Structure 1
Amino acid sequence: MIRLLTMALLCVFSANAISHGMSAEDQARILNAGHLEYMHLGATHMLSGYDHLLFLFGVMFFLTRFRDILKFITAFTVGHSITLVLATLWGITANYYLVDAVIALTVCYKAFDNLDGFKKYFQMSSPNLTSMVFIFGLIHGFGLSTRLQQLPLGDNGLVLKILSFNIGVEVGQIIALCVMFVILLAWRKTASFHRFSKAANAALMMAGGLLLLMQLHGYLHTAHPHDFPLNQDDHHHAHEDMQRTLAPISNTPKTFDLGTNSFPGLLPEQQKEQKYQPDEHSHDGEHYHSH
């Protein structure tokens, strides 16, 4: 189980995980799509929605009775259906990186609750879980809506398109919950569940925290495109410039001085480790330059 959690975390931290959203292929495929295509898109989007799945995993973690599972999942479903449908229908949107950052906080919250953090650190009972799951469902639904609104939905049959997508989301959610239920049911029968349940929820909280940082990083690229460009080549150079301001061993600036053919401020042994190699490249395929 620990290996499975580790693999899940690695998937979350991968470069592909950051791209969770509506791709250019999705946008092209949905132009003349029918309701079945919208359902399929909703299901696949939910199944690839690592932030939604992590939250649901946290909700399911200690639930053993089917009645409790049904109650909390119903509250979550009603919540995210409300905001998904209404926000999309009324065109209410926001920066999806910020919305996903809040969703990441819901993952941290549920892990904190599973660790009994409210009693340990605040000497209080946990807030009513049904109400919190409903409220968090509203947030998750708004996140789904911001992604859905990236598609060219048009005006014809808009309500049915939204409902079809929402039905697909529910289908994907049921599939994910069934898998989680089987895994947790089998794990609870072993001694390792009680031994590693705290570690698992600590890992869940860490995953939520790293998701939060990833989404805030994405927000910087959209809110400040000149300082944090989204173009792949410019993006690389922006990060390269930030790295170039610090020496590998100290905080000494390491800008190369062409006049002295050295890096001012570095010790002689550090000078040997630094080599100035002009990187000749082109941004348009014709005009080459170097930094």
Structure 2
Amino acid sequence: MKYLLLVCLTFASSLALAHGMSAEDQARILNAGYVEYLRLGATHMLSGYDHLLFLFGVMFFLTRFKDILVLITAFTIGHSITLVFATLAGITANYYLIDAVIALTVCYKAFDNLDGFKKYLQTRSPSLIWMVFIFGLIHGFGLSTRLQQLPLGNEGLVLKILSFNLGVELGQIVALSIVFVLLTIWRKTESFQKFSAAANVLLMFLGGLLLLMQLHGYQHSQYPDDFPLNADDHSHIHEDMAKSESPLSGYKKPLNLGAEPDASETHTPEMHTHDGEDYHSH
């Protein structure tokens, strides 16, 4: 049973990390131009399943293009503000916690779609435009924490951030177009009325699952020694994952033939064992 739980937690953590920027992207961006930042912003948005789930929830019951345009504009203004200014000011936070809050925005929108405020709280739903704007601020801060993981430097910093933000907008347009087409087709079928509630329950469940994933990742980043579950194996898994996700982990240093070898490169790996197995090293 403990091995099944270990696999589930490991899978959850890998999904939580998947929203980050890969080592290849981080290495490529070292000498990248503004077009590369634009591309990175677009691909990051399209791979941001938490952002996409939230936008899916926002658009779920919207049928008029005008309404969609107003809400998406509010969301865009919100995330552009925090993305640009938080990055310029160097304001950051633990990205697991930021992504946990983003997961809560997914749960909130699903709860709102289910008319939860009226049914369970006996009150009207808060202004959707203002809530989408506020959530846009949160999502933008999440994007900023990811962007600040890159070696941005000082030269052309503003244009780099604006290029990344423009890429995010282009990625958002592509994602929204796909979601809009899919929802439009689905609304014309009988199953939409039958399963719209179930779809939002599923959306809330996925938001809750993302929340647990991010909190699990936060616990490991802050309290690595507090996990009794097969602690040795479990910690090795997360160490390997952290190395693969760390900035520039895939970036090869240029060979310096005249320099002395770095101590970290000549260090002999420490021998250890797992549950009585033979001693080995990684």
TM bracket (short chain): 0.7 to 0.9
2-structure distance, mates of 1:237, 1:35: 36
* Alpha carbons 1:100, 1:143 under 8 Å: kept: yes
Q: Deviations over 1:25-70 (max 9, x none)?
A: 1111000000000000000000000000000000000000000000
2-structure distance, mates of 1:54, 1:182: 15
Letter in 1 for 2:177: C
Q: CA deviation at 1:115?
A: 0.1
Q: Deviations over 1:127-184 (max 9, x none)?
A: 0000000000000000000000000000000000000000000000000000000000
1:80 aligns with 2:79: yes
- Name the Cα RMSD after superposition: 2.1
What is the match of residue 96 of structure 1? Answer: 95
* Alpha carbons 1:98, 1:219 under 8 Å: kept: yes
2-structure distance, mates of 1:31, 1:193: 47
Letter in 1 for 2:159: L
What is the match of residue 235 of structure 2? Answer: 235
2-structure distance, mates of 1:235, 1:147: 24
Q: CA deviation at 1:19?
A: 2.2
1-structure distance, mates of 2:76, 2:137: 9
Q: Deviations over 1:74-107 (max 9, x none)?
A: 0000000000000000000000000000000000
2-structure distance, mates of 1:147, 1:237: 22
2-structure distance, mates of 1:228, 1:75: 41
What is the match of residue 174 of structure 1? Answer: 173
Structure 2: tracts of 5 or more residues without a match:
1-10, 239-274
Q: CA deviation at 1:113?
A: 0.1
* Alpha carbons 1:106, 1:136 under 8 Å: kept: yes
**Greater relative CO, 1 or 2 (CA 8 Å, sep 6+):** 2
1-structure distance, mates of 2:13, 2:100: 17
Superposition pairs for residues 144-163 of structure 1, below 5 Å?
Answer: 144-163=143-162
1-structure distance, mates of 2:19, 2:38: 18
2-structure distance, mates of 1:55, 1:137: 10
Change (3 A) 1:237 1:36: closer
Change (3 A) 1:225 1:116: same
* Alpha carbons 1:75, 1:133 under 8 Å: kept: yes
Larger Rg: 1
Q: CA deviation at 1:15?
A: 3.6
Superposition pairs for residues 195-214 of structure 1, below 5 Å?
Answer: 195-214=194-213
Identity %: 74
What is the match of residue 279 of structure 1? Answer: 277
1-structure distance, mates of 2:232, 2:158: 36
1:34 aligns with 2:33: yes
Q: Deviations over 1:217-249 (max 9, x none)?
A: 0001111133359x99562589xxxxxxxxxxx
What is the match of residue 253 of structure 1? Answer: none
Q: Deviations over 1:263-288 (max 9, x none)?
A: xxxxxxxxxxxxxx73224235xxxx
2-structure distance, mates of 1:156, 1:182: 41
Give the ranges of 4+ consecutive aligned residues of structure 1 lying more than 6 Å apart after TM superposition.
none
What is the match of residue 251 of structure 1? Answer: none
TM-score w.r.t. length of structure 2 = 0.79
Change (3 A) 1:197 1:233: same
Number of residues of Structure 1 aligned to a counterpart in Structure 2? 234
* Alpha carbons 1:233, 1:283 under 8 Å: kept: no
Structure 1: tracts of 5 or more residues without a match:
1-11, 239-276, 285-291
